[in-house]
């Protein structure tokens, strides 16, 4: 293997890749902004231009958003005829493969009904079935009673442990012993880990008994069984003859093991590794393990410094990073970070939000910066922060988009309205909605009806779980206030619900949603008429409810006491399902300011001119989430079985996490960073996190230097 270090201008770097022979396997490493993905795109185009069959080229990424630059380039490719380049994540590949070869592997894997179809569980359904499978046990034996976290969150950590076991490659029966050995603490803590272990095994037993496949199970089947089948291996070899792997450092040991099996038989490969990344540890990312793949490559290339950062941002990046890597070392002062750093201290959180909006307006209006080149980042993005910032920007005529990959459907007004109407339409559920929810549903469902009048209608005409006719509103003043035009629409909606109830209702809740949408709510005069967003939300709710029904219908062969529709409505309300809904249907306004959690922005992998870092006092910038039932490091591949996780490890991890984050953010920043700081956080607490500490050290050093001058 030969190593070639490159400090060429970024524009020339892709040429190093395209100069390589078509049958070479290349390891490409470099920081963010050094041109690696551009090189990957150049390689892809080169393969296609050379006549390599597109369906023998595979893109392999840890997360689907990371394939987007390649897919966009392929969509824009003109003049090409042939097959299709496919993009895979480990999850998508494992699921497709297990589904295809199910009948050859199910019996050996221990499924109770190997001749019946498998039921792959979506993110929302896995949470639901976990609840069904283990809740009786949890209640009966009083598991986790000392842990003060919502039960749904506990269950998701048990799932997380199972996923880690599958991705790292240890049996789920070792989860408890690994956690106890490293984190054991007192007897109570040991019991919690034992209980988490019992629950994981119970859920696995339940899945095997009912042909259910959660992520951990189908990844395990893929690794241990599907890949052993000659037919499956042959199919994968055909599809992965040429492979481009991007962000391999963000992927997990199961992906790396799969690539290790594959690479010797590939005709060509380009494996791209981002130095100083590895942000997805909570999802099993293992950047150290990824380096094992380098040995399968014919040569290694290194793309040097970032071509994105200005001198000021570059200095800021170096100084912040240095502060965290060697706290006692003197800071380098090759260039001045001051021109790239902007900040102002505030007492209260809303003042900080005001300041951010003002600075953004100034950048756009006075300095001609495009909204798309500005991003506002926080460690976590609360609804309050998102709303208040968007509102302030909107007042200034600035468009913003707020990206959260998932959002609970019940938070969408259209979905809430549909769920409330479903409860009204199914009195047999004995689950009548509150008058307040009825008012919201009427407001959303009837065009031109504001909340005050909707509340008046609900308060007077919603009685004992049913809506009364409009003419029973006795007060003429109230009728006038609501207007007869609105009253007529209200009556149409009420009459539709009554007719539905009289006809005995439907036992398929998604069909109910579709009917009331198509026959009433989307008609002229009603709230969803011509409303694309409401249509899309309703469609997502239909998809969710249908997926639920299909899975539960599937379960009826085992348990015919299930009441699907009522169960669905209750589970949505509890936040057990419809809780992670990808809103990929949203046609985002790309030329707008992005407001996003920091890691979401990073995984979009797109540089901007200016970044605003909010809530810099928050410990969440560096500290792990509180997860008492799991631990990303103890359940990682590199963890030594008998080692103990100490407070010093935790502190070192926090520093390392923040350093990586600094590097990653600044390498995606061209011109400057604005720091949003308020003494009191959104919830009224004083924050003294590690990020604030670093920034203060940096500012003190700069002040001293300035005084010396």
Closer by beta carbon to another protein, 392 or else 426: 426
Residue whose structure tokens are 């979905």: 415
Closer by beta carbon to another protein, 59 or else 439: 59
685's CB contacts (< 8 A; 6+ apart) are none
121's CB contacts (< 8 A; 6+ apart) are 129, 212, 213, 214, 215, 551
CA atoms lying within 13 Å on the CB side of residue 314: 12
Which residues in 25-54 contact another protein (CB under 8 A)?
A: 53
DSSP 546-587: HHHHHHHHHHTTT-TT--HHHHHHHHHHHTSSS-SEE-TT--
SS3 for 466-495 is: EECCHHHCCCHHHHHHHCHHHHHHHHHHHH
Residue whose structure tokens are 């594959």: 262
Closer by beta carbon to another protein, 28 or else 162: 162
Question: Which of 10, 87, 360, 374 touches another protein by CB under 8 A?
Answer: 87
List 269's β-bridge partners, or say none.
25, 243
- Residue 683 interacts with another protein (CB under 8 A)? no
Size of the site for another protein (CB under 8 A): 80
Question: Which of 170, 343, 436, 599 touches another protein by CB under 8 A?
Answer: 599
Residues 520-559, mask of contacts with another protein (x by CB under 8 A): --xxx----xx-x--xx-xxxxx-----------------
Which residues in 205-224 contact another protein (CB under 8 A)?
A: 215
Q: Is 464 exposed, middle or buried (0-12, 13-18, 19+ CB in 10 A)?
A: exposed
Q: How many CB atoms lie within 10 A of CB 575?
A: 15
Which residues in 138-197 contact another protein (CB under 8 A)?
A: 149, 153, 163
Which residues in 260-289 contact another protein (CB under 8 A)?
A: 280, 282-283
Nearest distance in Å: CB 161, another protein: 12
Residue 61 near residue 280, CB atoms below 8 Å: no
Nearest distance in Å: CB 125, another protein: 12
- Residue 656 interacts with another protein (CB under 8 A)? no
CA atoms of 233 and 238, how far apart (whole Å): 9
Stretch that binds another protein, among 76-84, 265-273, 487-495, 677-685 (CB under 8 A): 76-84
Which residues in 386-415 contact another protein (CB under 8 A)?
A: 404-406
Question: Which of 296, 343, 348, 380 touches another protein by CB under 8 A?
Answer: 380
CA atoms of 603 and 421, how far apart (whole Å): 38
Question: Which of 15, 92, 177, 475 touches another protein by CB under 8 A?
Answer: 92
- Residue 492 interacts with another protein (CB under 8 A)? no
Question: Which of 115, 237, 261, 706 touches another protein by CB under 8 A?
Answer: 115
Nearest distance in Å: CB 128, another protein: 15
- Residue 702 interacts with another protein (CB under 8 A)? no
Q: Is 346 exposed, middle or buried (0-12, 13-18, 19+ CB in 10 A)?
A: middle
Question: Which of 350, 505, 547, 597 touches another protein by CB under 8 A?
Answer: 597
- Residue 62 interacts with another protein (CB under 8 A)? yes
Question: Which of 33, 91, 445, 487 touches another protein by CB under 8 A?
Answer: 91
Closer by beta carbon to another protein, 65 or else 681: 65
Nearest distance in Å: CB 336, another protein: 34
Q: How many CB atoms lie within 10 A of CB 644?
A: 11
Which residues in 493-522 contact another protein (CB under 8 A)?
A: 508, 511, 513-515, 517-519, 522
Which residues in 621-640 contact another protein (CB under 8 A)?
A: 625-627
Q: How many CB atoms lie within 10 A of CB 527?
A: 23
Residue whose structure tokens are 């208040």: 388
Nearest distance in Å: CB 136, another protein: 24
């Amino acid at each position: 293997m030969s190593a070639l270090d490159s400090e060429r201008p970024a524009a020339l770097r892709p040429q190093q890749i395209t100069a390589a022979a078509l049958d070479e396997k290349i390891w490409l490493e470099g920081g963010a902004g050094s041109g690696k993905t551009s090189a990957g795109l150049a390689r892809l185009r080169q393969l296609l231009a050379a006549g390599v069959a597109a369906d023998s080229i595979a893109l392999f990424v840890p997360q689907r958003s990371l394939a987007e630059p390649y897919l966009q380039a392929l969509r824009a490719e003109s003049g090409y005829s042939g097959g299709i380049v496919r993009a895979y994540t480990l999850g998508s590949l494992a699921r497709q493969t297990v589904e295809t070869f199910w009948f050859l592997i199910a019996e050996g894997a221990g499924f109770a009904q190997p001749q019946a179809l498998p039921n792959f569980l979506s993110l929302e359904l896995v949470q639901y079935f976990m609840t069904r499978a283990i809740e009786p046990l949890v209640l009966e034996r009083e598991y986790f009673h000392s842990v003060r976290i919502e039960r749904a969150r506990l269950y998701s950590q048990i799932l997380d442990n199972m996923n880690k076991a599958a991705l790292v490659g240890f049996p789920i029966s070792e989860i408890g012993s690994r956690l106890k050995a490293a984190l054991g603490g007192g007897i109570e803590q040991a019991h919690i880990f034992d209980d988490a272990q019992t629950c994981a095994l119970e859920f696995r037993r339940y899945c095997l008994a009912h042909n259910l496949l959660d992520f951990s199970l189908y990844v395990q089947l893929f690794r241990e069984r599907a890949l052993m089948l000659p037919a499956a291996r042959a199919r994968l070899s055909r599809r992965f003859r040429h492979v481009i792997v991007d962000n391999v450092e963000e992927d997990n040991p199961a992906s790396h093991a799969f690539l290790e099996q594959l690479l010797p038989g590939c005709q060509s490969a380009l494996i791209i590794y981002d130095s100083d990344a590895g942000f997805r540890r909570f999802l099993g990312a293992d950047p150290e393990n990824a380096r094992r793949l380098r040995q399968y490559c014919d040569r290694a290339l290194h793309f040097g410094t970032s071509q994105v950062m200005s001198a000021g941002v570059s200095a800021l990046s170096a100084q912040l990073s240095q502060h965290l890597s060697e706290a006692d070392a003197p800071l380098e002062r090759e260039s001045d970070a001051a021109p790239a750093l902007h900040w102002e201290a505030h007492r209260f959180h809303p003042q900080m939000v005001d300041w951010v909006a003002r600075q953004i307006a100034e950048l756009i209006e006075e300095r001609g910066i495009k909204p798309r080149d500005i991003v506002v980042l926080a460690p976590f993005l609360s609804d309050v922060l998102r709303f208040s910032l968007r509102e302030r920007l909107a007042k200034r005529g600035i468009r913003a988009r707020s990206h959260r990959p998932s959002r609970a459907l019940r938070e969408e007004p259209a979905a809430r309205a549909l769920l409330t109407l479903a409860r009204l339409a199914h009195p047999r559920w004995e689950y009548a909605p509150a008058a307040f929810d009825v008012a919201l549903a009427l407001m959303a469902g009837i065009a031109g009806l504001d909340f005050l009048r909707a509340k008046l209608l609900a308060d007077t005409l919603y009685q004992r779980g049913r809506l009364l006719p409009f003419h029973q509103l006795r007060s003429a003043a109230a009728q006038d206030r609501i207007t007869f035009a609105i009253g007529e629409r209200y009556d149409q909606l009420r009459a539709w619900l009554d007719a539905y109830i009289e006809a005995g209702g439907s036992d398929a809740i998604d069909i109910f949603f579709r009917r009331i949408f198509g026959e009433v709510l989307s008609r002229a005069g009603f709230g969803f008429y011509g409303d694309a967003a409401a249509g899309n939300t309703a469609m997502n709710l239909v998809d969710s409810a249908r997926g639920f029904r299909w899975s539960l219908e599937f379960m009826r062969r085992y348990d015919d006491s299930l009441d699907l529709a009522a169960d669905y409505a209750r589970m949505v309300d509890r936040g057990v399902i419809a809780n992670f809904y990808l809103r990929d249907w949203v046609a985002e306004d790309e030329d707008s300011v992005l407001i996003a959690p920091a890691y979401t922005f990073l995984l979009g992998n797109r540089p901007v001119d200016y970044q605003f870092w909010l809530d810099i006092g928050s410990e969440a910038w560096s500290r792990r989430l509180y997860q008492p039932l799991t631990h990303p490091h103890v359940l990682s591949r590199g963890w030594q079985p008998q080692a103990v996780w100490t407070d010093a490890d935790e502190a070192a991890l926090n520093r390392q996490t923040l350093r990586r984050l600094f590097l990653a953010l600044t390498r995606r920043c061209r011109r400057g960073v604005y720091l949003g700081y308020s003494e009191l956080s959104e919830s009224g607490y004083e924050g003294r996190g590690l990020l604030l500490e670093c920034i203060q050290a940096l500012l003190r050093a700069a002040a001293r230097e300035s005084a010396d001058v």
